[in-house]
C-alpha cells in the first residue's frame, strides 16, 4: 500500500556500486579536523564527472529550480516534497537543483552517498537551512539575540559553543528519564480527553490535530518550562495564552516555509511575508520570556522549602548553571524546544496512529506487547517498561521510514566529495532524502509495506545500509531533542495502545510540507476502548 498516496516509481539501473571510501584529513581554522572524501566505483576507470553533468531540471538565474518546480501542481499545494521525490524517480538517485535562498546543490537518495557526506562533514556540520529565522533573530528588537540565533540557525564555532554546552543536559538518559512521570501524567489526561471527544462525536472531530498540538505543548512544557500550561483543560479558552502560542508556532512554520521556498527578495527588502515572520516571532519570544520568568520565580520559591538543596535540578536550572551559556542562550534553546516540540512530535504521532489504523495486524501485535509488559497496569510508566517494548520502538522507526516527517538532512560541503561518480565541490549543499533509493535494489526489502518487524534484531527485512534512514540526522549535529522526543512518543503510543484500538475509515492520508510534513486531511480517528 502506498501510505502517502504518492506514485513513486522505482527507477532502474545504471548506477555504479560504491566500492570503497578514501579519506584525507586536514585541519580547519577552528582546530577541528575536516575530511576530504573521495570514492571509487566498480567499473569506473575515468575521473569523476563534474557537477555540471549531474542530471536534473533546468536551473535559471536568481530563481534556480523554482520555475521548473512551478510546472508541478504539487508546488501550489504545499507538497514540494512530492516534487523532490519525483525528481529522484525521474533523474536517478543524485539530482542537481538550486533553491533561491540556498547555495547550489544536489539531492541524493543512496545511503552510500549519505554516508560519504556525513563522514566528510562530521567535524564541521553546516546546516544553513533556515536563513529566514537567522535573519529575523539578527534583527530582533533591542538585539535580544546578540547575533547568536541558537542551535537551529548558527554554524561553525558559534554553533559548536552552544552544542558542546547543552549536549549533556539535553541528551543524558538520567535527565531525560526524570521527566517520564510527568509526560506519562499528561498522556493519561489526553487519553481522557480522547474518550470525551469519542463519546461526543462518535469519532475524532475535524480539529483533532489541534487537540494533539495541545497535548504536545503540555508535554514539552513540563520539560522545557518545568510547569503545566493547562492545555488539556476541557474549558480552555480559545483566547488563552497556550492556544495563542500554538497558533503562533503553526504560523511560524508556515511563514518560514514560504520564505525559504520562494525568491530571495526578502533578503534585501522587507516583504510582507518576512514582516509577518518578524512580528509573530517577536510575539512568541515575548510569550516565552513571560513563562520562563514565571518558572524562574517558582524555582526560587522552591529553593526556600526544607530539603530543597537535595532535590534534582530541573533542565532549565542545569542550563542556567552552565558557565558556557548566558541567559539569552538558555532562552533561545527553550524557545526552540517549544516550537519544535509542538510541531514535529504532533505530526509524527498523527501519522503513526494512521499507519497503525491502516495496518491492524501491526496494531494488534503492538497491543499484545504492551499488554504483556503493562499487565499490572502501573500508575506511572518507568524506563524499565519502555526497555521491554522492542516492537513499540520498531513501530516508531518504521513510521519514520514510511512517512518521514523530516524529509531530508541538509549539509553544506566543507570539502570536495565524490557522490555516485560525480565530483561535488566544496560549498555545495547536499539534501539527503529520507526516501528509499530510486533503484531496483532498494535499501529496504518490500519498501511500500509498513513492516515494523524489519527493525527487530536479525530480521531479514532489515535495511541493507546503516545510513538508509536518518530521521534525526547523525553525528554531532543530530537533533538535540531526540531522546526527549522519543520518550514522549514511546509513552504516548504505549498508553494509547493499552487503552484503545484506533481505526481510520477515510482512505489514504496525504501530507503537506511546511518545513516538516503534516497530515493534509482531518484526523477523524475512531478510538474504541479495549478495557474499562
Whether pLDDT at 217 is above 50: yes
At residue 16, the pLDDT reads 30
Q: Report how many domains make up the chain.
A: 1
pTM of the model: 0.89
Residue 265 within a domain: yes
DSSP 8-state class, residue 220: H
Q: Is residue 129 part of a domain?
A: yes
Question: Which H, E and C letters describe 26-64, residue by residue?
Answer: EECCCCCEEEEEEEEECCCCCCCEEHHHCCCCCCECCCE
pLDDT at 45: 52
Phi, psi at 165, each rounded to 5°: -75, -35
pLDDT (0 to 100) of residue 505: 95
98 in a structural domain:
yes
Place of cell 495564552: 241
pLDDT score of 270 more than 50: yes
Q: Where residue 23 sits, what CATH number does that domain have?
A: 1.10.630.10
Q: Residue 156: which pLDDT band, with cuts at 50, 70 and 90?
A: very high
What average pLDDT score do residues 134-159 get? 92
Assess contact for 433 and 408: CB atoms under 8 A. yes
C-alpha cell at 381: 510508566
Task: Report CA torsion sign: 512, 515, 517, 520.
Answer: negative
Structural domain that includes position 34: 18-529
Residue 10: inside a domain: no
Q: What is the pLDDT of residue 510?
A: 92
Q: What is the pLDDT of residue 42?
A: 41
In a domain? residue 13: no
Q: Return d(Cα 49, Cα 434) in angstroms, integer.
A: 25
pLDDT tens by residue, 40-73: 444 345 789 999 999 999 999 888 898 999 999 9
Residue 267 has, within 13 A of its CA and on its CB side, a CA count of 12
What three-state secondary structure class fits 336? helix
Determine, yes or no, domain membership for 3. no
Average pLDDT over residues 406-434: 95
Percentage of the chain beyond pLDDT 70 is 90
Q: Is residue 44 part of a domain?
A: yes
Domain-embedded: residue 12: no
Amino acid at each position: 500500500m502506498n501510505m502517502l498516496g504518492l506514485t513513486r516509481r522505482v527507477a532502474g539501473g545504471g548506477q555504479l556500486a560504491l566500492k570503497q571510501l578514501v579519506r584525507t584529513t586536514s585541519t580547519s581554522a577552528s582546530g577541528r579536523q575536516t575530511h576530504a572524501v573521495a570514492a571509487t566505483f566498480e567499473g569506473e576507470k575515468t575521473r569523476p564527472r563534474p557537477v555540471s553533468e549531474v542530471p536534473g531540471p533546468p536551473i535559471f538565474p536568481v530563481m534556480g529550480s523554482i520555475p521548473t518546480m512551478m510546472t508541478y501542481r504539487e508546488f501550489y499545494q504545499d507538497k514540494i516534497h512530492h516534487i523532490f521525490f519525483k525528481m529522484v524517480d525521474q533523474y536517478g538517485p543524485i539530482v542537481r537543483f538550486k533553491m533561491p535562498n540556498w547555495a547550489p546543490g544536489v539531492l541524493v537518495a543512496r545511503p552510500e552517498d549519505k554516508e560519504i557526506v556525513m563522514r566528510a562533514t562530521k567535524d564541521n556540520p553546516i546546516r544553513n537551512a533556515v536563513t529566514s529565522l537567522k535573519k529575523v533573530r539578527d534583527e530582533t528588537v533591542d538585539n535580544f539575540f546578540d547575533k547568536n540565533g541558537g542551535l537551529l540557525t548558527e554554524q561553525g564555532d558559534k554553533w559548536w559553543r552552544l552544542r558542546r554546552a547543552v549536549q549533556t543536559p539535553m541528551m543524558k538518559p538520567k535527565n531525560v528519564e526524570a521527566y517520564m512521570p510527568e509526560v506519562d501524567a499528561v498522556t493519561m489526561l489526553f487519553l481522557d480527553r480522547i474518550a470525551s471527544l469519542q463519546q461526543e462525536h462518535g469519532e475524532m472531530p475535524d480539529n483533532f490535530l489541534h487537540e494533539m498540538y495541545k497535548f504536545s505543548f503540555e508535554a514539552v512544557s513540563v520539560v522545557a518550562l518545568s510547569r503545566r500550561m493547562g492545555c488539556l483543560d476541557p474549558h480552555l479558552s480559545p483566547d488563552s495564552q497556550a492556544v495563542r502560542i500554538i497558533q503562533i508556532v503553526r504560523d511560524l512554520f508556515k511563514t518560514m516555509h514560504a520564505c525559504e521556498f520562494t525568491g530571495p527578495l526578502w533578503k534585501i527588502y522587507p516583504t510582507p511575508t518576512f514582516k509577518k515572520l518578524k512580528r509573530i516571532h517577536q510575539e512568541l519570544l515575548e510569550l516565552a520570556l513571560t513563562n520562563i520568568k514565571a518558572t524562574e520565580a517558582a524555582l526560587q520559591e522552591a529553593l526556600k522549602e526544607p530539603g530543597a538543596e537535595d532535590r534534582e535540578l530541573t533542565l532549565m536550572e542545569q542550563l542556567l548553571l552552565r558557565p558556557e551559556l548566558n541567559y539569552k542562550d538558555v532562552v533561545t534553546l527553550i524557545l526552540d524546544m517549544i516550537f519544535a516540540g509542538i510541531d514535529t512530535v504532533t505530526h509524527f504521532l498523527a501519522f503513526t496512529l494512521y499507519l497503525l489504523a491502516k495496518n491492524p495486524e501491526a496494531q494488534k501485535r503492538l497491543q499484545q506487547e504492551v499488554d504483556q509488559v503493562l499487565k499490572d497496569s502501573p500508575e506511572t510508566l518507568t524506563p524499565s517498561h519502555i526497555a521491554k517494548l522492542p516492537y513499540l520502538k520498531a513501530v516508531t522507526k518504521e513510521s519514520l521510514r514510511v512517512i518521514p516527517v523530516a524529509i531530508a538532512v541538509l549539509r553544506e560541503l566543507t570539502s570536495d566529495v565524490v557522490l555516485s561518480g560525480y565530483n561535488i565541490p566544496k560549498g555545495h549543499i547536499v539534501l539527503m532524502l529520507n526516501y528509499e533509493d530510486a533503484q531496483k535494489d532498494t535499501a529496504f526489502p518490500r519498501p511500500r509495506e509498513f513492516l515494523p518487524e524489519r527493525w527487530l534484531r536479525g530480521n531479514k527485512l532489515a535495511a541493507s545500509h546503516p545510513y538508509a534512514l536518518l530521521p534525526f540526522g547523525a553525528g554531532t549535529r543530530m537533533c538535540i531533542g531526540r531522546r526527549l522526543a522519543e520518550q514522549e512518543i514511546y509513552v504516548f503510543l504505549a498508553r494509547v495502545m493499552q487503552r484503545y484500538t484506533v481505526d481510520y475509515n477515510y482512505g489514504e492520508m496525504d501530507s503537506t510540507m511546511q518545513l516538516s510534513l503534516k497530515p493534509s486531511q482531518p484526523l477523524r480517528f475512531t478510538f474504541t476502548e479495549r478495557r474499562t
